[in-house]
Amino acid sequence: MAKYVAKRLLLTLVMIIIISFAIFVALNNTGVDPISFKLGLDNYTPEAAAELREKLGLNAPLVVRYLRWWKDMLSGNFGYSIAHGYSIRSGLIAKWPATLEISLTAMIVSTVIGIGIGMLSAIWQNSIVDYLGRMIAAIGNSVPEYFFALILIQLFSVRLQLLPTSGRVPAGAVTFWDRLPNLILPVAALAIPMCGNLMRYTRNTMLDVANQEYVKLARSKGIPEWKVYIKHVFRNSMRPVVTVLLFRMTLLLGGSVAVETIFSWPGVGQVLTQAITASDYSVVMLYTLMMAVLMLTISFLVDLFAALLDPRVRLDK
Amino acid sequence: MDKVNAPVGGHQAIANARRLGTSLRKKRIRKFVGNKLAVFGLAVIVVFLFMALFAPFLTPYDPLEPNFGQTLKGPSAEHWFGTDSMGRDLYTRVLYGARVSILIAVSSSLIANAIGVVMGAFGGYFGGWLDKGLVRLSELFACFPQLIIVLVVMAFIGPGTFNLILVFAITGWTGTFRLVRAEYMSKKEETYVKACEAFGMSRLKIMFFQILPSVMTTVIIQVTMNIPGYVMSEAGLSFLGFGVPMSTPTWGTMLNAAKSMKVLLYAPGVWLVPGCAISLFVLAVNFFGDGLRDVMDPRQQ
Amino acid sequence: MSDEIILDVKNLSTVITTDRVPVRIVKDVSFQLRRGRTLAIVGESGCGKSVTMQSVVKLVSRNYHITADHVLYRSFRSGAPKEYRLDKLAPYGRVMRSLRGPEISMVFQDPMMSLNPVYKIGDQVIEGLLQHNPGMKKREAWARALEMLKKLGIPAAEQRINEYPHQMSGGMKQRIVIAIAMICDPQIIIADEPTTALDVTIQSQIMELMKQLQTEDRKSIILITHNMGLVAEMADDVAVMYMGRVVEAGPIQAIFENPLHPYTQGLLKSVPVLGMARDKPLIAIPGSTPNPADLTEGCEFAGRCPYCEAACLRGVIPSFEAEPGHQVRCLRSAHGEVN
């Protein structure tokens, strides 16, 4: 297990280094010369530029500059937006909590509902629950989250006037309960299409496991059906289901870009779309880097968790 | 069919095998037709393709010509689905939009799968460092939200139909890669491949003439199953304004109208129509693909 | 002897529906199992022998439809025999479940697939024990499991009991599966090709073990197999199945020395049996097993039978008693033109 963890950790670090290096190279070739940017048109002379270049250490080899870039980032300096001049720390990093708020909530909601209904669907195969579940899954797989978001707004905000259409914190909000109405629609728009996906996967995996010989053996011991399902079928289905969590997180974060735009949710997705519109490469690339680090970390944790669930990996020395 | 087989000779065996072959195909067709959802999916796909192909004959309007006297009208006899904020007929735009949306999705899926097959074949058959490298690369792609990679790349190369297909193709090959690679890894251990190797057949020939046909089932299903994702991604990107140029009518650029508060809140028809077109088409392809998979390769989930 | 019959199956049929096409896999199968004896059910793969046994204990999927005149299990456990009509019980109901394990247990074909990969061996062995002995302490069950593993000749049982299935060899796993089947001290053990997945040396060890347990505790065994050698070694009675039907049944001497059905004859000629005449050639049965869905009428074996005649292609071939206890479903036995 320790060896497995060490190997996965090393691999994750190597991946982060490769991605960040690629991003660093891309950042250095965006076509925007930071020197002329810094000096401004009036002060620009070749000599002044060369002097500043030396002073800022821009003549150092690429690898040195790359390491220096990491050092800066680790000490909290992420650079500035090329287009708007805001510090990336306040303009981008500070927006992560908002994004994680809706995506993690959506993740939890969709996981609970998806696995729950998926299980029932598998246990009561071909029952009403199964048909309804499969129908919801089919629709969930076919309605993109942005379209679903529009429908939700039309239904709950315009027609029923129940929930607000946009924003994260309403004016005068103090407690979590004041903010809750704003959270419901974006989370629903993200979570419900996602449920279908997981429901279907859980159902199919469980049906697959239910056909295994060891489940038949468990039944031949005379234990009741619910025990067969909990102890044998569900327990063995968890590993594949956990493994797709990563994939689902990528889908959620991808979907959150559009959903944040629709609900004016002040998260990183919105920053990203604005940055792309303004060709604000430094912001775009830093966003990409953070996304890479986030996803690789989740991937590492998922692998770890999956390994814990499986003695074949856990006991491997 | 004859019940009593007199002495079973070679001819008889061949005839039996043939009969088995045709009966398998018949059985598959019967199984597919028995799957109502799959048949429904196929029917919807056919209708959409027909509408896309014959769009000019099915509507008197132009998808691009604005008509400012007729903006944001509800459904009527002249405009079946109503008009958008520039007075263009929504029905017409859905028809023409289907052309581009389906074209982008189908060609992206084909190219992405072609890349996946080639990479999977090389990785799975040759193994070694090449395989390791390809697997790492695919993991890298797979752990990024695809929509975000596409967004970032589009930010650099700019919007456009061709660019979009290109980006979809280079980011979408990982799923097929993994499946094809796994198939090649198991197939290369099989006797018929060993026999070809023993006869000194070149490795490329074995890969693409001997093994590939047996992997095609997987690939065909993959191509079908990838299409819905591309339809939705295209629409999502165009909705955000980074997909195809706004002047091209696609289901996504039509949805983009909903970014205007006025349309979003008070003219739901304008975005409901393309949204429903997307969902219906995606649903149909999903059903069709599921049916196809059940028939062709029941063990694959 | 007849009161010693522990399992009596009369006209059991199973229909499996796949893609809305019903196919009769088991047709009017009848057999009797005597106490302390071994009944071998023999036939090629796909002849319905596994389905027959799974239908008896009702461990089947939802698309199986089982009918029978009766499936009678007679429990000799406590004093006077107690009878259960298995065909009338709900497959996963309380009564049926109470029989699975302490009365009838199963050993499945593939030891590699039969153990749950995520639980320790010990936990899997005691699961049934705890189920059928409410109030039993886990420690006590664990001790019983350890005892059973030792009895089955598992080396370093104290350590093995704490291991996971992936840490064991195939032969070990099969011993564990047998331990699971034996732990509740059942009256009948149904062993479905218990050794096909194993090496030959381990095969004989495992069979030796089962034989030993049987003679010690007067267990009844149903052995499902296609291996005639194994049958010769283990069985007291034999039922030969072909395409879902018992074509010949009787005591082992009768079947081996005087096989009457052309299929049984072919089967015996095609398999090397220890001790058979050295100069006898092995002869394959011509043709291959037909698709069960294609069979409609007449003798199932007609297509491959060297003695096939017009009468064989009509109706259902009845069963004849060739000698006491020796049944055969072949018209040739009715004519008396036996060998």
Query: What is chain B written as a DSSP string?
Result: --S---S--HHHHHHHHHHHHHHHHHHHHHHHHH-HHHHHHHHHHHHHHHHHHTHHHH-SS-SS---GGGTT----SSSTT-B-TT--BHHHHHHHHHHHHHHHHHHHHHHHHHHHHHHHHHHHHH-HHHHHHHHHHHHHHHTS-HHHHHHHHHHHH---HHHHHHHHHHHS-HHHHHHHHHHHHHHTTSHHHHHHHHTT--HHHIIIIIIHHHHHHHHHHHHHHHHHHHHHHHHHHHHHT-SS-TTS--HHHHHGGGGSHHHHHH-HHHHHHHHHHHHHHHHHHHHHHHHHHHHH-TT--
A52 or C73: which carries more pLDDT confidence? Answer: C73
Query: Per-residue b/e over C16-38, b at no fewer than 16 CB within 10 Å?
Result: beeeeeeebbbbbbbbbbbbbbb
Q: What is the model's pLDDT at position C226?
A: 84
CA distance B30 to C87: 34
Does residue C114 sit at the A interface (CB-CB below 8 Å)?
A: yes
Q: Are C235 and C223 in contact (CB under 8 A)?
A: yes
What would the pLDDT profile of C274-288 be if each residue is shown by its tens digit?
555 666 666 777 777
Distance of CA A282 to the CA centre of its chain: 21
Q: Does B1 contact chain A (CB < 8 Å)?
A: no
Average pLDDT score over chain B: 81
pLDDT category of residue B2 using cuts at 50, 70 and 90? very low
Indicate if the alpha-carbon torsion angle B291, B293, B295, B299 is positive or negative.
negative
- Predicted pLDDT at B283: 92
Please name the amino acid found at residue B57.
F
- Between CA B177 and CA C40 the distance in angstroms is 49
- pTM score, whole prediction: 0.79
Q: Hey, how many other C-beta atoms are within 10 angstroms of the C-beta on A226?
A: 9
pLDDT in tens, chain C (339 residues): 445 888 999 999 999 887 778 888 888 898 889 888 899 999 887 788 888 988 988 888 888 888 888 888 888 776 677 888 888 888 888 888 888 888 899 888 787 888 888 888 889 988 888 888 888 888 899 998 998 888 888 888 888 888 888 888 888 888 888 888 888 888 888 988 887 767 777 777 778 878 887 888 788 899 998 888 888 888 899 999 988 889 899 999 888 888 888 888 888 887 665 555 666 666 777 777 777 777 667 888 888 888 888 888 888 888 888 888 888 888 887 765 444
Higher local confidence (pLDDT), A6 or A53? A6
Whether the CB of C82 is below 8 Å from some CB of chain A: the reply is: no
Q: Are B212 and B124 in contact (CB under 8 A)?
A: no
User: What does the pLDDT look like over A203-236, one tens digit per residue?
Assistant: 888 888 888 888 988 888 888 888 888 888 988 8
pLDDT surpasses 50 at A312: yes
Q: What is the pLDDT of residues B3-30, one digit of tens each?
A: 444 444 445 555 665 666 667 777 778 7
| Type of residue found at C328 | V
Between C92, C105, C118, which is nearest A310 by CB? Answer: C118
**Which residues 123-142 in chain B show a CB within 8 A of chain A?**
136, 139-140, 142
d(CA C224, CA C189): 11
pLDDT on residue C41: 92
Tens of pLDDT, residue by residue over B80-117, are 777 777 767 778 888 888 888 899 999 999 999 999 99
Residues B73 and B83 sit within 8 Å (Cβ to Cβ): yes
Contact C98 A220 (CB under 8 A): no
Subunit contact C118:A311, Cβ cutoff 8 A: yes
Q: Given pLDDT bands bounded at 50, 70 and 90, which one contains residue A177?
A: confident
CA dihedral C85, C88, C91, C95 (to 10 degrees): -50
For residue B17, which amino acid is it? A
Residue A50: pLDDT band with limits 50, 70, 90: confident
CB A147 within 8 A of CB A228: no
Look at residue B5 in the predicted model and tell me its pLDDT.
41
Which range in A59-63, B18-22, B75-79, C125-129 is most confidently predicted, on average pLDDT?
A: C125-129
A219–C92 CB contact, under 8 Å: yes
Distance between CA atoms of residues B82 and C127, nearest Å = 66
Q: What is the mean pLDDT of residues A17-31?
A: 79
pLDDT at B107: 94
Enumerate the residues of chain B whose CB falls inside 8 A of the CB of residue C285. Answer: none
Among A31-35, A91-95, B96-100, the minimum mean pLDDT is found in: A31-35
| The pLDDT value given to residue B301 | 41
C286 → closest Cβ in B8, B30, B31? B8
**In the block, which residue shows the tokens 């259409």?**
A165
Compute how many other C-beta atoms are within 10 angstroms of the C-beta atom of residue C61: 11
Q: Closest partner residue to C59 among A220, A225, A315, by Cβ?
A: A220
Q: Using the beta-carbon criterion (under 8 Å), do B136 and A15 form an inter-chain contact? A: yes
Q: What value does the mean pLDDT take over residues B197-216?
A: 85
- Give dist(CA B227, CA B100) in Å, integer: 13
Residues of C in contact with A315 (CB under 8 A): 164, 167
Map tokens 């199963």 to a residue: C106
Question: Which token pair is A177?
Answer: 């309960």
The residues facing C106 across adjacent strands are: C190
Q: Angle B90-126/B174-187 helices, nearest 10 degrees? A: 40
The predicted pLDDT at position B20 comes to: 61
pLDDT at B7: 42
The alpha carbon of A1 is separated from its chain's Cα centroid by a whole number of angstroms, namely 27
CA A5 – CA A304 distance, rounded (Å): 7
pLDDT for residue B53 is more than 90: no
Question: How many degrees, rounded to 5, is the angle at CA B289 between CA B286 and CA B291?
Answer: 110
Q: What is the pLDDT of residues B134-179, one digit of tens each?
A: 988 888 887 777 778 888 887 777 778 888 898 888 888 888 998 8
Inter-residue contact C115 to C124 (CB < 8 Å): yes
List Cβ neighbours of A228 (8 Å cut-off, separation of 6 or more).
A215, A218, A219
Q: Which two tokens stand for residue B14?
A: 């061949």
CATH of domain A96-277: 1.10.3720.10
Nearest to B5 among C298, C303, C313 (CB): C303
Q: What secondary structure, in 3-state letters, does chain C show?
A: CHHHEEEEEEEEEEEEEECCEEEEEEEEEEEEEECCCEEEEECCCCCCHHHHHHHHHCCCCCCEEEECCEEEEEECCCCCCEEEEHHHCCCCCHHHHHHECCCEEEECCCHHHHCCCCCCHHHHHHHHHHHHCCCCCHHHHHHHHHHHHHHCCCCCHHHHCCCCHHHCCHHHHHHHHHHHHHCCCCCEEEEECCCCCCCHHHHHHHHHHHHHHHHHHCCEEEEEECCHHHHHHHCCEEEEEECCEEEEEEEHHHHHHCCCCHHHHHHHHHCCCCCCCCCCCCCCCCCCCCCHHHCCCCCCCHHHCCCCCHHHHCCCCCCEEEECCEEECCHHHHHCCCC
Long-range contacts of range A15-19, CB-CB < 8 Å, 24 or more positions apart? A15/A292, A15/A296, A15/B136, A15/B139, A15/B140, A16/A292, A16/A293, A16/A296, A18/B140, A19/A289, A19/A292, A19/A296, A19/B140
Structure-token match 């129509």, residue found: B273
Q: Report the pLDDT value the prediction gives residue C338, as an integer from 0 to 100.
A: 46
Task: Count chain A–chain B contacts defined by CB atoms under 8 A.
Answer: 119
